[in-house]
Structure 1
């Protein structure tokens, strides 16, 4: 079975005293000896076991390793990149507590041993539930990085239907992760983690590349008209000044019609009107549409829509669920009229029943997305459907 961990046999050297601090480890199983060479003597400082951190002290202060680590028994370790520590230490994060607790406990244990005490080095097992949660987050982040490097993240395509004709007009691209041990990881869990770190940027680039390849394959298979594919862009991605250039570059490199790639941003980002206005201008200059996602959940006034020229508005599923009430239908009707006045399309999200789709049709909503239309599908299913 594939694993994100590294295996060491008994006697294997993990790192040597004086080595550069290129990362740390989380011990999943096995025992590890920590030793130093002083005054010509091999001196054992202690042992580490499952649930403990190894090698983090040198990473925290960016100093050479002060001890040697060697496997006493067969060991399974999860490598933690040095960059992860740097990011965590620069932020107010629960992980900082776990790292500093481990360092402090080990330091005190070593000091006690050197002064004649009996406390064991590195017995920094993280029993507190908060620290256990932080360690779980470190582990998941490391595994997510590895999955991204191995290109194991999957693209799923959820169909968007034109209600009038019943035809699939396009898809929303969604990222999914199947962990080799845990199975399917909730997108809410790993996407939130990615957004807390810099991981959302390379994941976004990975999705951009994959989505453009999807459009190429749909074109090669003769899909006419070529459906659009919507790609979500997060706030952290928008902080990258080179993002739009990369998007345009991928589209042009594949000779794709720019209007087939649709950029989606969430409503909460619209408050930064200057940044979003610049995004809209650059995308529109090359014919690339931009959609406003989760409409109705973010800003409390409609002022931004007076100046920001979106091509599509996606109505949050909470409004669709309210269609069985007169007041809910009235509100959706107002949104339909507003989008017509703004000359942009409306997509209703979370459509799960025929009654909801029929109500949307009567109100004049153009597109529907949700489990009634189709769940997120693997690429091969879309291509062969």
Structure 2
């Protein structure tokens, strides 16, 4: 069994240049000298102390030790098995992993030059298959930043129908990106990329401002009643204490009623009850409505509906697909009744057939959204309708 910690006395060699990398160490106490051989002469590279890692680079790329570690004082070290590094490296973000391996390659190259060893090339056996895409991911992030600055992201509107009247009551704003070289980039790809970085905040602001412009244009064209437009919020946007005030400023600038911009929060985000409750309170105080999106996608429980007063529930399209079965009809009927009891409007997503729409109508669902109603289109298509 591997010991919890190992003791080394002053002068002990912990590992020598050329040794196989059996593992690394966390220095608990003491000082360690790192040295290498430069053109046949010993050269001290530096010292390491408590709280620092020792020997991790050779473990990461499975290369022989490129330096010697000697205890300058009595030292206590905690061994770290190579498998621990391998597991964490495999689970790391591919961009972070690729950057780490790039830096390690540079270090090995510089060390080989320093020591006069032309064979000092690292292996990359710990790299994962998707590492090859990591730099493409970095490139795409840079291109997304540029597209945002050049206002190349397009906001399209997918219609939401009031089933009983057949009129288009509102729209959901969906962002699209037509890359000049890659063509259409999947929203799932670039939105996920934006959410992994701080980019989701400027992307979110871009969409909100563009939606307010669209509402302003619909109002200027005399569209009555003025439809609502729903905008999806990300987790990072929910952390923004000034979000509601900034939205209000956009609406007031265009003389728009607050209830025409609807905010949508995906079901997976409502587990933070306190944060969502605060947002709902601030929105309701100024007349803005908030919808619970993707209801029934796997995170479902009724707890949020007991404590959070959403104005609308959006039923995930998987339930609409199940309307061809009696059990599916029964479940959707229960959700419709629940929404009515909670004084919430219900929007059924993913409506693709007239049969689905008719069943929803019979069950008392108020709104339908999906390809049967209409696909996401630019604003000019909406203005011509």
- CA, structure 1 residues 143+127, in 2 after alignment: closer, same or farther (shift >3 Å)? farther
What TM-score do the two structures reach when normalised by structure 1? 0.73
Alpha-carbon separation, structure 1, partners of 2:99 and 2:270: 37
Counterpart residue number, 1:249: 249
What TM-score do the two structures reach when normalised by structure 2? 0.73
CA offsets per residue over residues 162-214 of structure 1, 9 Å max, x none? 11111100000011101100100011111111111111111000001000000
Alpha-carbon separation, structure 1, partners of 2:334 and 2:101: 55
Counterpart residue number, 1:148: 148
SS at match of 1:313: strand
Contact 2:283 2:290 in 1 (8 A): yes
Tell me by how many angstroms 1:272 deviates: 1.1
Counterpart residue number, 1:351: 351
Counterpart residue number, 1:100: 100
- Higher mean C-alpha deviation, range 96-105 or range 115-124: 115-124
Counterpart residue number, 1:213: 213
Alignment of 1:144-293 (within 5 A): 144-293=144-293
Alpha-carbon separation, structure 2, partners of 1:202 and 1:92: 26
Alpha-carbon separation, structure 2, partners of 1:92 and 1:242: 32
Counterpart residue number, 2:379: 379
Contact 1:315 1:347 in 2 (8 A): yes
Contact 1:102 1:122 in 2 (8 A): no
Contact 1:208 1:247 in 2 (8 A): yes
Q: Which runs of 5+ in 1 are unaligned?
A: 1-90
Contact 2:267 2:300 in 1 (8 A): no
- CA, structure 1 residues 211+122, in 2 after alignment: closer, same or farther (shift >3 Å)? farther
Q: Which runs of 5+ in 2 are unaligned?
A: 1-90
Alignment of 1:275-354 (within 5 A): 275-354=275-354
CA offsets per residue over residues 280-319 of structure 1, 9 Å max, x none? 1100111111111001124342122122111111000000
SS at match of 2:231: strand
Alpha-carbon separation, structure 2, partners of 1:302 and 1:229: 26
Alpha-carbon separation, structure 2, partners of 1:304 and 1:103: 46
Alpha-carbon separation, structure 2, partners of 1:263 and 1:122: 51
Contact 1:153 1:176 in 2 (8 A): yes
Counterpart residue number, 1:78: none
CA RMSD of aligned residues (A): 2.1
CA offsets per residue over residues 321-379 of structure 1, 9 Å max, x none? 00010010001111111111111110000000011001101111110000000000011
Contact 1:147 1:153 in 2 (8 A): yes
Alpha-carbon separation, structure 1, partners of 2:304 and 2:117: 66
Counterpart residue number, 1:138: 138
- CA, structure 1 residues 173+300, in 2 after alignment: closer, same or farther (shift >3 Å)? closer
- Higher mean C-alpha deviation, range 266-275 or range 127-136: 127-136
The count of residues paired between Structure 1 and Structure 2 equals 294
Which entry has the higher C-alpha Rg, 1 or 2? 2
SS at match of 1:290: strand
Does the alignment pair 1:113 with 2:107?
Answer: no
SS at match of 1:184: strand
Contact 1:107 1:122 in 2 (8 A): no
Alpha-carbon separation, structure 1, partners of 2:154 and 2:122: 39
- CA, structure 1 residues 120+154, in 2 after alignment: closer, same or farther (shift >3 Å)? farther
Alpha-carbon separation, structure 2, partners of 1:110 and 1:119: 12
Alpha-carbon separation, structure 2, partners of 1:298 and 1:276: 19
Alpha-carbon separation, structure 2, partners of 1:328 and 1:102: 52
Counterpart residue number, 1:49: none
SS at match of 1:377: coil
Tell me by how many angstroms 1:249 deviates: 1.4
Alpha-carbon separation, structure 1, partners of 2:172 and 2:273: 24
Contact 1:315 1:346 in 2 (8 A): yes
Contact 1:291 1:310 in 2 (8 A): yes
Alpha-carbon separation, structure 1, partners of 2:143 and 2:327: 47
Counterpart residue number, 1:8: none
Alpha-carbon separation, structure 1, partners of 2:282 and 2:315: 24
CA offsets per residue over residues 61-83 of structure 1, 9 Å max, x none? xxxxxxxxxxxxxxxxxxxxxxx
CA offsets per residue over residues 230-259 of structure 1, 9 Å max, x none? 011011111121212111211122110111
SS at match of 2:265: strand
Alpha-carbon separation, structure 1, partners of 2:320 and 2:183: 31
SS at match of 2:374: coil
Alpha-carbon separation, structure 1, partners of 2:119 and 2:150: 42
